[in-house]
Amino acid sequence: SKTLIPILGDQLSFALSSLEDQQQKDCILLLMEVGEETTYVKHHKAKITYILSAMRHHAKALSERGWTVDYVRLDDEDNSGSFTGEIARALERHDIASIRVTEAGEWRVMAMIENWEDQFGVPVEIFPDTRFIATHQEFANWANGKKQLRMEFFYREMRRKTGLLLDDDGKPEGGKWNYDSENRKPAQRDLMMPQPVRFRPDDITREVMDMVETRFADHPGSLDHFHFAVTHDEALRQRRNFLDNALAQFGDYQDAMLSGEPFLWHAILSPYINSGLLDPLSLCKEVTALYADEKVPLNAAEGFIRQIIGWREYVRGIYWREGPDYVNRNFLKADRALPDFYYTGDTDMHCLSQAIGQTLNHSYAHHIQRLMITGNFALIAGIDPHAVHRWYLEVYADAYEWVELPNTLGMSQFADGGIIASKPYASSGNYINKMSDYCGNCYYDVKQRTGPDACPFNALYWDFLARNEDKLGDNNRLAMPYRTWQKTAEHDQKALRTSAATFLKSLYRQ
Ligand code: FAD
Ligand code: DLZ
Ligand code: SF4
């Protein structure tokens, strides 16, 4: 009899904890395409295509390395439609003595796995996901007893643990831990702007695309621009492309936005890191080696590794610490429906049509677009954070609940009441105008505060502060804008609130 090792769609790494020290002849690896995973939210067509094609390629690579792989396709006649159903079928097909599995990335799937032992009467061993830098225990040790869980301090722990960008005395390279203040430059259009490598879909990918086009025709997004890497080698090529052509300026332009430029100097690596095609720590080591060789400046290297060993690890820690009910938080009690234009990009607000348009085309938007355009708008318009969360989970190729939820519900919508963000990421049009060229191309006037031609972000921003004063009024970091609001003449306050109300009403008119 053999050991069954299920490998989930975001566990596409050769160095997976469940595979460690196993004899290939004793194991059957099981990869499962199942309806439940493809539809628990309506994932973007490109996201499903990416994950299923990467799974098929990874299964092939595992077989070529000598493993016995059992692969269940979505269109297999007897497919039961769920992970648990497929484990049941695999136990009938094979003579299995035990199951080994690396822990799942989210509560929903962990709950299934934790049932398997009782359900099937087979021993099930669950292993920690060693592709992350911090263990659950390390995060708990850091967080326990702290009043505030600020990313910056956790990040310093991760710098110490990995030794990245530390000198021999354990001091941060260059004397500072964080060079974010140097990372806020608006970008100019540049003919030399780097572009991600566009990978031509091979036969395996094309077969998945055909299936997705028919089976998931009602899911958002388009496959017309599908260009993702789907193998380890391709993901490594995009990694090289980023390191050689974009990293040096990543820091400077991290927060910049330009019309018609979806990618700028970003890595476009999150889908590959999150599904296991790329290892986050080895990527960060290479980034710091490039800094040591004077190929990239410190603000780029530090800014980049902070996203991965800092933010990425921190949001995962928060996700598991806060528990399965984190998803239901709604501190500001926001309850408006998500406007339809989130699924079409069809709005006169140019910043939103750009961010949403590229999301529907590429299943990608960079951080500042997610936070300060689509996220900021939903926040100040008072959209139900759960609906916002579902949208982000659906539309981005890198979205798995453990990383998407804390970023959306916590950082972007302030629905956790300030566990992740010390103040809501709310802004008027002024910030967007400073960091992008969007406003110059917009129907609305970013300088006007009220009236039909005024940038809607302006009145919405003040309306957001005014209507949430009971919940946000004592936040120190909002003291300045609240003072400004209190000093605003009553008739101006009224005009701003009326403008916001008129706009919000117009959002839902057919
Ligand atoms: P770069 O900007 O080049 O950054 C490099 C890497 O750092 C990324 O590949 C990613 O692995 C990591 N990273 C950067 N910021 C974060 C962060 N805040 N949290 C976790 N990792 C980070 N990221 C996801 O991977 N999945 C999501 O579902 C997701 N949802 C988000 C939702 C909202 C509302 C916001 C504001 C951010 C979200 N992010 C998410 C974080 C971030 O926007 C993406 O990681 C990033 O845009 C991916 O593109 P990139 O590879 O070009 O990243
Ligand atoms: C996101 C996703 C999709 C769309 N489809 C599958 C699938 O068919 N089979 C699979 O193993 N994984 C898929 N995934 C990723 C899983 O949802 C992911 O592995 C879990 O969310 C981990 O907790
Ligand atoms: Fe967006 Fe307002 Fe600028 Fe238009 S004017 S692009 S709506 S911020």
Residues 105 and 146 grouped into a single domain = no
Say if CB 267 and CB 304 are below 8 A apart.
yes
Residues 349 and 461 grouped into a single domain = yes
Which of 25-29, 169-173, 360-364 has the least mean pLDDT?
A: 169-173
Whether 322 lines ligand 2, by a CB cut-off of 6 Å, is: no
Residue 112's Cβ-side half-sphere holds a number of Cα atoms within 13 Å equal to: 17
Number of the ligand closest to the Cα of 274: 1
Whether 9 lines ligand 2, by a CB cut-off of 6 Å, is: yes
The DSSP output letter for 188 is P
Report d(CA 245, CA 279) in Å as an integer.
20
Pick from 307, 314, 368 the residue to mutate for probing ligand 1's pocket: most ligand atoms within 8 Å of its CB: 307
- pLDDT recorded at residue 191: 67
Residues 428 and 478 grouped into a single domain = yes
Whether residue 201 is contained in a domain is answered as no
Say if CB 173 and CB 166 are below 8 A apart.
yes
Distance 76 CA to ligand 1 centre (A): 34
Mean pLDDT of 284-293: 98
Domain endpoint, select from 81, 100, 127: 127
Mean pLDDT of 383-388: 98
- pLDDT recorded at residue 509: 78
pLDDT above 90: residue 421: yes
Distance 10 CA to ligand 2 centre (A): 6
Res. 231 pLDDT band, cuts 50 70 90: very high
Say if CB 319 and CB 405 are below 8 A apart.
yes
Report d(CA 202, CA 219) in Å as an integer.
23
Please state the atom number of ligand 1 nearest to the C-alpha of residue 263. 52
- pLDDT recorded at residue 186: 81
Whether 58 lines ligand 1, by a CB cut-off of 6 Å, is: no
Whether residue 395 is contained in a domain is answered as no
pLDDT above 90: residue 510: no
Distance 377 CA to ligand 2 centre (A): 29
* Tokens coding 480: 């300045």
Distance 311 CA to ligand 1 centre (A): 8
Of all protein residues, whose CA lies closest to atom 8 belonging to ligand 3?
A: 429
> Which CATH number do you get for residue 114?
3.40.50.620
Whether residue 223 is contained in a domain is answered as no
Q: What angle do CA 209, 214, 220 make, to 5 degrees?
A: 80
- pLDDT recorded at residue 252: 85
Report d(CA 160, CA 171) in Å as an integer.
9
Say if CB 178 and CB 31 are below 8 A apart.
no
Say if CB 196 and CB 270 are below 8 A apart.
no
> What's the mean pLDDT when you consider all of the chain?
96
The DSSP output letter for 326 is G
Whether 8 lines ligand 2, by a CB cut-off of 6 Å, is: yes
Whether residue 266 is contained in a domain is answered as yes
Whether 308 lines ligand 1, by a CB cut-off of 6 Å, is: yes
Q: Which amino acid is it at 20? A: E
Residues 84 and 22 grouped into a single domain = yes
* Tokens coding 195: 């572009």
Domain endpoint, select from 108, 127, 146: 127
Residues 50 and 72 grouped into a single domain = yes
Question: Which of 424, 442, 418 has the alpha carbon at shortest distance from 377?
Answer: 424
Report d(CA 87, CA 31) in Å as an integer.
10
Residues 363 and 296 grouped into a single domain = no
Residues 305 and 432 grouped into a single domain = no
Mean pLDDT of 430-434: 95
Whether residue 333 is contained in a domain is answered as no
Cβ of 490: how many Cβ atoms within 10 Å?
7
Residues 123 and 142 grouped into a single domain = no
pLDDT per position as a tens digit, 137-163: 999 999 999 989 999 999 999 999 999
Of all protein residues, whose CA lies closest to atom 9 belonging to ligand 2?
A: 33
Residues 171 and 123 grouped into a single domain = no
Name the domain count of the chain.
3
Ligand 3 interacting residues, C-beta cut-off 6 A: 349-351, 429, 432-433, 438-439, 442, 444, 446, 455-457
Kindly write down the DSSP assignment for every residue of 100-158, as one continuous string: EEEPPSSHHHHHHHHHHHHHHTS-EEEE--TTSSS-HHHHHHHHTT-S---HHHHHHHH
Q: Quote the percentage of the chain above a pLDDT of 90.
A: 94
Mean pLDDT of 348-371: 98
> Which CATH number do you get for residue 252?
1.25.40.80
Whether residue 308 is contained in a domain is answered as yes
Q: What is the pTM assigned to this prediction?
A: 0.97
> Which CATH number do you get for residue 453?
1.10.10.1710
Cβ of 93: how many Cβ atoms within 10 Å?
12
Whether 412 lines ligand 1, by a CB cut-off of 6 Å, is: yes
Distance 407 CA to ligand 1 centre (A): 8
Q: What angle do CA 288, 294, 297 make, to 5 degrees?
A: 70
Whether residue 206 is contained in a domain is answered as no
Question: Which of 345, 395, 402, 363 has the alpha carbon at shortest distance from 42?
Answer: 395
Of all protein residues, whose CA lies closest to atom 2 belonging to ligand 3?
A: 455
Whether 12 lines ligand 2, by a CB cut-off of 6 Å, is: no
Whether 313 lines ligand 2, by a CB cut-off of 6 Å, is: no
Range of the domain at 154: 136-194+246-322
Residues 178 and 308 grouped into a single domain = yes
Whether residue 228 is contained in a domain is answered as no
Report d(CA 273, CA 309) in Å as an integer.
12
* Tokens coding 107: 């509560």
Kindly write down the DSSP assignment for every residue of 236-291, as one continuous string: HHHHHHHHHHTHHHHTTTTT-BBTTBS-TT----HHHHHHTSS-HHHHHHHHHHHH
Interacting residues of 218 by C-beta distance below 8 A, sequence separation 6+: 42
Residues 278 and 375 grouped into a single domain = no
Whether 105 lines ligand 2, by a CB cut-off of 6 Å, is: yes
- pLDDT recorded at residue 181: 76
Residues 466 and 364 grouped into a single domain = yes
Pick from 154, 319, 362, 398 the residue to mutate for probing ligand 1's pocket: most ligand atoms within 8 Å of its CB: 398
Report d(CA 300, CA 287) in Å as an integer.
9
Res. 266 pLDDT band, cuts 50 70 90: very high
* Tokens coding 6: 């299920």
Question: Which of 159, 154, 138 has the alpha carbon at shortest distance from 288?
Answer: 159
Helices (H), 323-375: 350-362, 367-368
Report d(CA 4, CA 435) in Å as an integer.
51
pLDDT above 70: residue 136: yes
Interacting residues of 422 by C-beta distance below 8 A, sequence separation 6+: 148, 150, 475, 477
Q: What's the alpha-carbon Rg for the chain, to the nearest Å?
A: 24
Place of tokens 């290479």: 286
Report d(CA 461, CA 454) in Å as an integer.
12
Distance 179 CA to ligand 2 centre (A): 36
Interacting residues of 300 by C-beta distance below 8 A, sequence separation 6+: 247, 248, 249, 250, 251, 252, 291
Res. 190 pLDDT band, cuts 50 70 90: confident
pLDDT above 80: residue 463: yes
Interacting residues of 207 by C-beta distance below 8 A, sequence separation 6+: none
Number of the ligand closest to the Cα of 111: 2
Report d(CA 329, CA 417) in Å as an integer.
8
